Amino acid sequence: MKLGMFMHPIQDFRRGYHTLLKEDFEIITCADAVGFDEVWLGEHFALPSEPIQSPLMLFAALVPQTERIKFGSGVLCLPYQHPAIVAGQAAQFDHISEGRFLMGIGPGATPPDFEMFKITDLDRMEMLVESIDMIHGIWASDPPYEFHGKYWDFVIKDNVLPDIGVGAMGKPYQKPHPPVMIPAMSRGSGSIRLAAQRGWSCISANFVPDEVLKGHWRDYLDECKKLGKQPDPSMWKAGRTLLITETDEEARQYLRREDNAFRWYFEYIIGVTSHGGFVHMLKSDPDMPDEEVTPEYCIDTIVTAGSPKTVAKKIAEFRDETGPFETLIVSHHDWVHKDLWRRHMELTATELMPRLRAEIGWQAAAE
């Protein structure tokens, strides 16, 4: 079982853009040092609390500062840009990182960006599929290029000079291309079925109830059965919202604090999802009133906190009930309490994961 970290990152924008960017560098170098296998970083343009406009640019600066961690775009919002731009930049980063690139893609999820790019009323999943097909088509071919779609056209045929290297797009370091990931958040998400169809990996969101992840695995199995494919648990990454501390009591004390990082995190998530009309994603009971979805409710129902021993047992039980994911994706939170969260990262990698692997191995042997 592998360990990943998903950095939205949802940070308190009031602490300043420059401060947050410097912290993101520190967090990722720490993750690499303590033993995380992969880190995922989102792409947002008009969200100061999620202040990464280019995950690939930030990752490129971190390549020489890290040794082993893989860099996942979580995600490149394909409807925002022409496929040729994404193809060129992704291929370049794959070479810079020498294959440490995991290409997460998505349709976007933030209304201010939709408004800015004038895609609010468009079928963004249809745009995603058209875009990634063009990107892979570019990487799989040589000029002349000619791609025609509903949303984009891409042609280079009159200005191709192969003898002097004119007219060709760069190809990625990994062959035939970097692994593709797509996230799944909602009940009945079409993303998990698309992942099964395309052979992509999928990350189930960390901020949704357990029941939603159970549905994701059932849908993946169902789609594989329809396609006559063998299900591959290694392609499923499960996001969870965790706090690992030395003792259970330390975790309980932190969660009781009015200034704990989860409170800001869920205030933000609730605000964005309420505005966008999809706060139902946070509900254990889909029929509960929207006003009952509070930070306290989310902390009580979504966060798993405690010592490595306690949390390993809970995650193993969760996996047994939900499905056999092979990568645990831990969400990262605002570093306003830096010492606590740094220790959380160390404990997660060095104590939680060995215990979790042992718990799962014991369960597998007993079945």
CB-based contact 291:274 (threshold 8 Å): no
What is residue 367's predicted lDDT score, i.e. its pLDDT?
A: 38
Among residues 35, 27, 48, 40, the alpha carbon closest in space to that of 1 is found at: 35
For 42, the enclosing helix (H) or strand (E) is none
Beta strands in 114-208 (DSSP E): 145-148, 153-156, 180-184, 201-204
* pTM reported for the whole predicted model: 0.95
CB-based contact 30:342 (threshold 8 Å): yes
Helix orientation angle between 210-227 and 190-198, rounded to the nearest 10 degrees:
40
Q: How many CA atoms lie within 13 A of 29 on its CB side?
A: 13
d(CA 148, CA 132): 13
pLDDT per residue over 257-293, tens digit each?
Answer: 999 999 999 999 999 899 988 899 999 998 999 999 9
Give all domains of the chain, ordered by start, each with its CATH number: 2-74+179-251+304-366 (3.20.20.30)
What is residue 365's predicted lDDT score, i.e. its pLDDT?
A: 42
Taking the CA atoms of residue 282, residue 50, residue 108 and residue 230 in that order, the dihedral angle to the nearest 10 degrees is: -70
In the chain, the amino acid numbered 229 is: K
What is residue 23's predicted lDDT score, i.e. its pLDDT?
A: 94
CB-based contact 83:154 (threshold 8 Å): yes
pLDDT (tens digit, 0 to 9) for every residue of the chain, 367 residues total? 999 999 976 888 999 999 999 999 999 999 999 999 999 999 999 999 998 999 999 999 999 999 999 999 999 999 999 999 999 999 999 999 999 999 999 999 889 999 999 999 999 999 999 999 999 999 999 999 999 999 999 999 999 999 999 999 999 999 999 999 999 998 999 999 999 999 999 999 999 999 999 999 999 999 999 999 999 999 999 999 999 999 999 999 999 999 999 999 999 999 989 998 889 999 999 899 999 999 999 999 999 999 999 999 999 999 999 999 999 999 999 988 999 999 999 999 999 999 999 999 855 443 3
Residues in Cβ contact with 366 at an 8 Å cutoff, skipping those fewer than 6 apart: none
Residues in Cβ contact with 332 at an 8 Å cutoff, skipping those fewer than 6 apart: 5, 6, 7, 8, 9, 27, 341
Residues in Cβ contact with 179 at an 8 Å cutoff, skipping those fewer than 6 apart: 102, 103, 200, 201
> What is the CA angle 47-195-86, rounded to 5?
50
